[in-house]
Structure formats: C-alpha cells, structure tokens
Amino acid sequence: MIPGLGPLEATVMEILWEASEPLPVRQVREHLTDHATAYTTISTVLENLRRKGWVDREQLGRVWFYRPVRERSAHAADLMYEALTGSRDSEATLLRFVDSMRPQDVRALRTLLDGLPPEEEA
C-alpha cells in the first residue's frame, strides 16, 4: 500500500511504474488482475492521480497517455525519509532498519556511503 493512495490508485501506480512507456486507460485496465473494473473507473483514478501530482498525461490523437511523474525509487526514498524524520530516535531507527536489511543491501549501502565525500567540520 502506498500512503495517501487508495488500493486501486496504488495498483495503477504499480502498473505505470512497471511500464516502459506511457499507457492509455485501456492498457492500464488490461494489466489489472480484476478485469471487471470499468474503463471509466480507471479513467477517474488516473485523473485523480494526475490532480494529486503522481502522474502526468499527454494526448495523442483522441487518447490520453499516462506516465508516473516520479520514479518508484524516489517514492520509496521519501517514505524512508518520512519514517526517519518521524522517529524520536533516528539513530535507533537507522540501526533497526539496517539490522533488517539483506546482506547484499548492507554491502550496497556501505559502498554508497564509502563513495560520499567526507563531511567538513563546522
């Protein structure tokens, strides 16, 4: 579930993130596991997502094509940042997060941190 989005909105975002190009309403609907969802419902969901700033659209002929405004990784990073800043003890939160990571993710994090320039003393 994506905070701030309903279940169908979150599903539509996942479909758009997986797509290699912008999709029209009909193709988004075809990717749903519940094909009983009406075309107009998906169209409304996409317009709601556009108003919320999650997707953008472009008209080609008479058809609107939708694409995510932000990458899934940027959204995930925002969620992690919100969790960290919402914690009263960011160090403990980071420690618990790192303790729950897979070993390959810990190695990737170490590599990324080693590549950062050293902090300057204030």
Span 3-24, pLDDT tens digits: 678 899 999 999 999 999 999 9
Residue 85: the pLDDT is: 87
**Do 54 and 106 lie in a common domain?**
no
Task: Give the predicted TM-score (pTM) of the model.
Answer: 0.71
β-pairing verdict for 55-60 and 23-24: unpaired
Read off the CATH number of the domain in which 45 is found: 1.10.10.10
121 falls within a domain: no
If we measure between CA atoms, which residue out of 80, 86, 13 comes closest to residue 52?
13
**Do 64 and 77 lie in a common domain?**
no
Residue 102: the pLDDT is: 93
Model confidence at 27: pLDDT above 80: yes
**Could you give the C-alpha distances from 78 to 27, 101, 106, in angstroms and in order?**
28, 18, 19
Sheet with 63-68, edge to edge strand ranges: 23-24, 63-68, 55-60
Range of the domain at 16: 7-68
Residue type, 98: V
Per-residue pLDDT tens for 58-74? 999 999 999 999 888 88
79 falls within a domain: yes
* Mean pLDDT of all residues belonging to the chain: 90
How many folded domains does the chain comprise?
Answer: 2
